[in-house]
Structure 1
């Protein structure tokens, strides 16, 4: 299991980058009514998640990289399973995997972006316990 305090923990579990206890999003990424909506502040440590207006616009660059990783993973999985797909079928598999994982890609991208600017604070995390 990933230890609290690592950026990977916050990214994978979509928690507050500073305390790793509060939730980062309003709802699950697949709940489309609140799609990709970041909370204004951490409910546990009161960290303001947005440094400036349009702060998460930069996460679209991260989203591109994560999307490429998902596409490559879909391609590699078709090779590992020994599927002999035509170019068209392979294209459909990759596009379908991107469509299915789109909410997750958007959420993880925002979490990665936030973790680039906020650091884990062990003292604050201990006070919250």
Structure 2
């Protein structure tokens, strides 16, 4: 419970910090490389899933063992998915190496899996 709420807080704080850094300190570099939209997508998905992690933690407080197992898998999928999806987009922005884009779909699939696991867990919550 507490772990996912804390992870959501950390992921969210980093999303705000990176978003501000990108909008100010990196603005010229991102615009020059044509990567502003890529960076914004990375921040946006990171922030959405920070909120989802907090939700997972809160749901764990009122769930039984069956739902808790699914919620745990969901939270882990969200965390790993954010690292892979947003991380690969940040890597493209900072390095210009577009091959990092090849791993973004893996992160995206993990994010989708996290939402499906959340859906399944919801059916087990009283």
Shorter-chain TM band: under 0.3
Q: Which of the pair has more CA radius of gyration?
A: 1
User: TM-score scaled by structure 1?
Assistant: 0.26
TM-score, structure 2 as length reference? 0.26
Greater helix percent: which structure?
Answer: 2
